Amino acid sequence: MRRLTPDTWLPTCVERMTEADLETVLDIEEASFASSWPRETFLGELDNNLAHLFVARLTGGEWHGRIAGYCCTWVVVDEMHITSFAVHPDFRRHHIGYQLLAAVLARAVELQCCSAVLEVRASNRAAQRLYSQFGFAPVAVRKRYYTDDQEDAIVMFLSDIAGQLPPQPGPAS
């Protein structure tokens, strides 16, 4: 596998997650979080009528078809709650998170969601910057939210998904 340089654009397609994707998703989950969801949680989410789960699959080159990230959401009435979002560490800083979030929010609009909410670790500045690019703004702090280390969570809210969706950029030609 050739070494990637930071900020290399890796194009993806975003698809619904299936049970067949779980091994790779679990690998990403374990590589991304100190306290990861077990397989049973993902299986439960796949069967949950409120849940919409997505994977970002690379579309070119030697990684064609490989899952590089995922996003789990719940849709409650007209709000999408992003419950988990991760990109494999080997593929961070390659615009996969951007593409994944853009596609998930576009799907939220199709599902008639007006707003979106998520929690993010206070220390995760990179994720906060990504969410801010889409119009998410901090609205609250959940003290000692994360059970593994008692870190605070920043609650970020997006009040107008459709009005904030950026155009889907691609790699420079």
Q: Name the residues annotated as catalytic.
A: 119, 131
| Long-range contacts of the stretch 122-129 (C-beta < 8 A, 24+) | 122/151, 122/152, 122/153, 122/154, 123/151, 126/92, 127/85, 127/97, 128/154, 128/156
| Helices and strands per DSSP (H, E), number in the chain | 5, 7
Whether residue 69 contacts residue 96, with contact meaning beta carbons closer than 8 Å, is answered with yes
DSSP structure string for 44-82: HHHH-TTEEEEEEEE-SGGGTT-EEEEEEEEEETTEEEE
Q: Which residue has the tokens 């951007």?
A: 98
